[in-house]
Structure 1
């Protein structure tokens, strides 16, 4: 199945907002709130209504220490949500499928997915890049070392995390090119928090210009991740706004701030749990950037 071009998807302009739909019982960020397929479809429609440009649907938690699923288990979770959303939406958004499994990627594409979001950059399943190439899919290639169980012990970049991540992504681009992945549909993700310490994740965010020099659109996934705790005041939990829970919810304001910075830097897209706030943030960042250029 050859995937048709998505008009304007990779055209330079406003930073796009990718809304997350976690179809998992053990997500670090939302506690399995959307594990039920009907609730997941309703949430996808809510994100669409808030202004999301893309939906990212995933059935396997990638938090540190998470257990892996079989492709069959993963598909039991995500395929009903993909079908349900495409049936329920009047004007469906492009769908990204968050998976490291080639079999799930193929099943997702057959169900209507156009983008494959692979946190391992094709390393965890050697057939993944071939599936992407054969279907001419859009492909988000993320940098990661090890797997969710081991990545926290693989953060040593010899003092040069920017160079290490850039070199790692270059190697994955070469692997993509070797098997025939359409590089015109390739997107890179530095993998904040994946085999990176909190400080290293902030360093990557502070050097988005260097990552952009790799020559591909950039996706930044910072939403609610642990490294954002460095930007959350210690007293915050004592003064949480109404409706905001402790834990990952306390990182939402920092997430929005990062989205604004990404909009200012002109990255391709941000992957977030709360769409409305980040949409305003990326627009503000773009306006800031344009004003400085005048």
Structure 2
């Protein structure tokens, strides 16, 4: 199956907002809230209405220490949501499928997915790049070392995390090219929090211009991640929206700030849980950039 081109998906301009739909019982941020297919479909429609440009649907938690899921289990979670959303939406967003499994990627593409979002950059399933290439899919290639069980122990970059991530992504670009992946549909993600300490994640955010020199659109996934705690006083807990576990609740405002700064830096897209907040934030960042460039 050949993926049709999505008009303006990778063109420069307004930073896009990718809304997260976690069809999992154990996500660090909202695990269990959207685990039932009908709830996940309703949530996807809500994110679309809030202004999402892309929906990222995933069935396997990738938080540190998360246990792996079989491809069959993963597909049982995500495929009904993909099909249900496409059936119920009158103007559906492009769908990104968050998976490291080639078999799930293939099934998702058959169900209507246009973008494969692979946190491993093709290292956890040797068939992934082949599936992406054969379907001419859009591909988000993320930097990561190890897997969710081991990545927290693999944060040594010899004092140069930006250089290490740049070299790692360059290796994956070469692997994509060798496998026949359409590089005009390639998106890079530095993988904040994936085999990176909190300080290293901030260093990557502070050097997005260097990562941009790799020549591909960048996706930034900072939403509610642990490294944001460095910017958030714990006493703010009682002054932010309820409904989430305390750590994630503390990180919501910081997430929104990162989205604004990413837009100011002309980043291609931000991957977030709270779409409405980031839609406003990227508008602020874009306007700030445009006015400062006059």
TM-score, normalised relative to structure 1: 0.99
How far apart, CA to CA, are the structure 1 residues paired with 2:51 and 2:238?
Answer: 32
How far apart, CA to CA, are the structure 2 residues paired with 1:278 and 1:231?
Answer: 18
Correspondence for 2:236: 236
Q: Secondary structure at the match of 2:55?
A: strand
Deviations 1:239-282 (A, max 9, x none): 33566652211100000000000000000000000001101101
Q: Secondary structure at the match of 1:146?
A: coil
Deviation at 1:195, TM superposition (A): 0.1
- Kindly indicate whether the alpha-carbon contact (under 8 Å) linking 1:244 and 1:250 is maintained by their aligned counterparts in 2: no
Correspondence for 2:42: 42
Q: 1:108-147 alignment to 2 at 5 Å?
A: 108-147=108-147
**Structure 1: tracts of 5 or more residues without a match:** none
Correspondence for 1:225: 225
Deviation at 1:235, TM superposition (A): 1.4
Does residue 103 of structure 1 match 2:96? no
Aligned length: 294
- Kindly indicate whether the alpha-carbon contact (under 8 Å) linking 2:18 and 2:55 is maintained by their aligned counterparts in 1: yes
- Kindly indicate whether the alpha-carbon contact (under 8 Å) linking 2:122 and 2:128 is maintained by their aligned counterparts in 1: yes
- Kindly indicate whether the alpha-carbon contact (under 8 Å) linking 2:234 and 2:250 is maintained by their aligned counterparts in 1: no
Correspondence for 1:152: 152
Correspondence for 1:192: 192
Deviation at 1:233, TM superposition (A): 1.2
Deviation at 1:292, TM superposition (A): 1.2
- Kindly indicate whether the alpha-carbon contact (under 8 Å) linking 1:141 and 1:189 is maintained by their aligned counterparts in 2: yes
How far apart, CA to CA, are the structure 2 residues paired with 1:31 and 1:175?
Answer: 33
Correspondence for 1:173: 173
Correspondence for 1:204: 204
Deviation at 1:291, TM superposition (A): 1.0
Correspondence for 1:89: 89
CA distance 1:291–1:145, shift in 2 (3 Å): same
Deviation at 1:237, TM superposition (A): 1.9
How far apart, CA to CA, are the structure 1 residues paired with 2:202 and 2:216?
Answer: 21
Correspondence for 1:269: 269
Deviation at 1:238, TM superposition (A): 3.8
Q: 1:62-81 alignment to 2 at 5 Å?
A: 62-81=62-81
CA distance 1:263–1:153, shift in 2 (3 Å): same
**Structure 2: tracts of 5 or more residues without a match:** none
Runs of 4+ in 1 over 3 A off after TM superposition: 238-245
CA distance 1:68–1:241, shift in 2 (3 Å): closer
Give the aligned CA root-mean-square deviation in angstroms: 0.9
Deviation at 1:203, TM superposition (A): 0.3
Correspondence for 1:292: 292
Correspondence for 2:278: 278
Does residue 54 of structure 1 match 2:54? yes
How far apart, CA to CA, are the structure 2 residues paired with 1:42 and 1:143?
Answer: 31
- Kindly indicate whether the alpha-carbon contact (under 8 Å) linking 1:240 and 1:246 is maintained by their aligned counterparts in 2: no
Correspondence for 1:213: 213
Q: Secondary structure at the match of 1:83?
A: helix
Q: Secondary structure at the match of 1:235?
A: helix
Deviation at 1:234, TM superposition (A): 2.8
How far apart, CA to CA, are the structure 2 residues paired with 1:164 and 1:46?
Answer: 38
